[in-house]
Structure 1
Amino acid sequence: MPFNLPILLTWLRVALIPVFVGLYYLPADMPPILIKNLIGTVIFAVAALTDWFDGYLARKWNQVSSFGAFLDPVADKLMVAAALILLVEIDRAPAWLAVIIIGREITISALREWMAQLGKIKSVAVATIGKFKTAAQMVAILFLLWDEPLIPGLSTRLIGTIALYVAGVLTIVSMFYYLRVAAQQFREN
């Protein structure tokens, strides 16, 4: 297993998950919810930034490894799943939508694993629709975690909820896109 700064950043993302979740399980007034929301939002934002930064550094420094390529999406999916489950728990996101998003992540991860075994991993590489889904998901989670108005009259919960529904639609569309691409590969064989 290689060890370098990009992989360290990925492990940092994994290590932040229990800190992030544990924050919301502290007693109700320790710290007050506003502080929990602030810290939770910052932790998730740092995790999202390290996701971009570790890949950038790995490519720039030529430290791309198969272990890093495996660990990075696992860390991302764990962080997003933890955030969605937490948002359901604190009543800021509907459970059915979280199940759809998490279910898609598991399905596509399994599909990519299967395609890798067939030597066809490039056929299910991340597509533009998947990037839009991820962006909508990150915006939604950040706004739902913050849950405080940015300016008077501008509800971050409403913005986050709309973004989460957009992410949900893109989740379904992107899942069918990847399944269609995989089906074409199977027909060609």
Structure 2
Amino acid sequence: MLNIPNLVTLFRLALIPFILVAYYWPSESRFVWAAGLFALVAATDWLDGYLARKLNQATPFGAFLDPVADKITVAVALVVLVEAYSELWLTVPAIIIISREIVISALREWMAETGKRANIAVSYIGKVKTTMQMGSIVFLLATPPGTAIATVGLVMLYAAAALTIWSMMLYLSAAWSQLKKGA
């Protein structure tokens, strides 16, 4: 159960408090530290999956823990950014992204109960969405609001939100026949 990929995933979760401390630390370098730690989390998200496949160490625990670590890390970072920016322009895509994660998690759980979990496997669009989302958060954490880099991050966050809606529609479409049966 506790193999190398799962330890990498647990390491990602353990970094969350350090991202928070870095972001709120009274220092001019706080943004760079928080963004760097978040970038490390994003890189290890890729690494744990790669190691699980390469080392043939995929486990049910890892399959459960990996998306949980992703969702918690992203949600924490978005909540911090919503508080820091205190602007509708950042709040709207953050709500879209967090809401989608809740909907898809519930959908996956429900589909698993019906024995149809494979019908809603992770899609390519979901992977692109995650990459865009992680990149946008790195940019947004890296500098204070109102900078050019933050603007790039905000544009990327909107692209991630659009991909979020698209991927959610793909998942719901794939599950629609099962959802209609339960209505």
- Per the normalisation by structure 1, the TM-score is 0.88
Cα deviation 1:54-99 (Å, max 9, x = unaligned):
1111111111100100000000000001111111111176222211
Indicate which of 154, 157, 161 corresponds to 2:150: 157
- Provide the C-alpha distance between the structure 2 equivalents of 1:186 and 1:135, rounded to a whole number of angstroms: 29
Map of 1:134-153 to 2, 5 A cutoff?
Answer: 134-147=130-143
Q: Secondary structure at the match of 2:78?
A: helix
Q: Quick one: which amino acid aligns to residue 132 of structure 1?
A: V
Corresponding position of 1:123: 119
Q: Which residue, 22, 33, 40 being the options, matches 1:39? A: 33
Deviations 1:76-124 (A, max 9, x none): 0000011111111111762222111101001101111111111111111
Is residue 51 of structure 2 the alignment partner of residue 88 of structure 1? no
Q: 1: distance between equivalents of 2:179 and 2:83?
A: 40
Compute the displacement of 1:188 (Å).
7.9
Structure 2, unmatched stretches of 5+, are: none
Does 2:48 match 1:49? Answer: no
- The aligned counterpart of 1:69 is 63
Task: Work out the CA distance in 2 between the residues paired with 1:112 and 1:164.
Answer: 24
CA–CA separation in structure 1 for the residues paired with 2:151 and 2:41: 23
More helix by share: 2
After the TM superposition, which parts of structure 1 deviate over 3 Å for at least 4 consecutive aligned residues? 185-189
Q: Provide the residue aligned with 1:132 in structure 2.
A: 128
Residue number in structure 1 paired with 2:21 = 22
| Paired residue type of 2:119 | S
**What TM-score does the superposition give when structure 2 sets the normalisation length?**
0.90
Q: Which moved more, 1:92-101 or 1:46-55?
A: 92-101
The CA deviation at 1:180 is 1.1
SS at structure 2 position matched to 1:109? helix
Give the aligned residue type for 2:55. Answer: W
The number of residue pairs the alignment matches comes to 178
Q: Which residue identity lines up with residue 109 of structure 1 in the other structure? A: S
Amino acid at match of 1:75: A
Deviations 1:132-164 (A, max 9, x none): 21121111111111127xxxxx92112111111
